[in-house]
Amino acid sequence: MLDLDAVYMVLSRFSLGRVSTLYLFLLVVVGGTAPGLLQAQNRYAVYFTDKAGSSFRLDAPEDFLSPVALRRKAHFRIPVDSLDLPVSAHYLDSLHRLGPQVLLQSRWMNAALVVADSTDIASLQALSFVREVTLLAPGGIPASGQRLLWPEGQNARKTGIQEHFSPYSSM
């Protein structure tokens, strides 16, 4: 499972600017795929109410943050807070048991990106720890073994992204 925070951190290192980085981030997460590589299910963001049930403690950040992240926080004098705690493993296990495929998770948004159909949504919304379920992208996840590609012509405007990524390379 890919971590949304890790994807965003990697993309933000390319000095694209905040808006361009966010645009690229959303393109990677929700972005288009080539026709014929798709399975028909929707992608939803499932936002959780809290981070209860975590085995991690704020007074032991070395258990859930990398040494690089800890050095960065110390350098910029940023305290460790609840946003740094991982998404509750209990919540992710509960989602998995209901059937939706968990693609990504974000500790900062306290959310998970899942692939589900409309019949799963009511059961997700009924969970006591789910604050909100939002449709992010209708249909279109890559079939097993396929990679996301930027379709020709979709990235025609000069946005600065082309300097770092080829529009036809795999994501």
Q: How many domains does the chain have?
A: 1
What are residue 7's phi and psi, to 5 degrees? -60, -45
Domain annotation covers residue 171: no
Q: pLDDT at position 137, please?
A: 87
CB 127 within 8 A of CB 100: no
Evaluate whether residue 168 is within a structural domain.
no
pLDDT in tens, 124-139: 999 999 999 999 988 7
Which phi-psi region, left, alpha or beta, contains residue 139 (left: φ > 0; alpha: ψ -120 to 50)? left
- The predicted-structure confidence for 77-91, as pLDDT tens digits, reads as follows 999 999 999 999 999
CATH code, 26:
3.30.70.80
Q: Give the β-pairing of 101-106 and 2-3.
A: parallel
> Quick check: is 156 in a domain?
yes
- pLDDT on residue 152: 44
Strand 101-106 and strand 38-39: pairing?
Answer: unpaired
Is the residue at 17 inside a domain?
yes
pTM: 0.60
**pLDDT of 170 over the 70 cut:** no
The answer to whether residue 72 is domain-embedded is: no
Tokens of 69: 């992240």
Mean pLDDT of 140-154: 50
* SS3 letters across 72-128: HHHHCCCCCCHHHCCCCHHHHHHHHHHCCEEEEEECCCCEEEEEECHHHHHHHHCCC
In this structure, is residue 78 part of a structural domain?
no
Rounded to whole angstroms, how far apart are CA atoms 62 and 1?
A: 21
Residue 95: domain span: 2-56+84-163
- Determine the average pLDDT of the residues in 25-31: 56
Task: Evaluate whether residue 71 is within a structural domain.
Answer: no
**Per-residue pLDDT reduced to its tens digit, 155-164:** 434 333 333 3
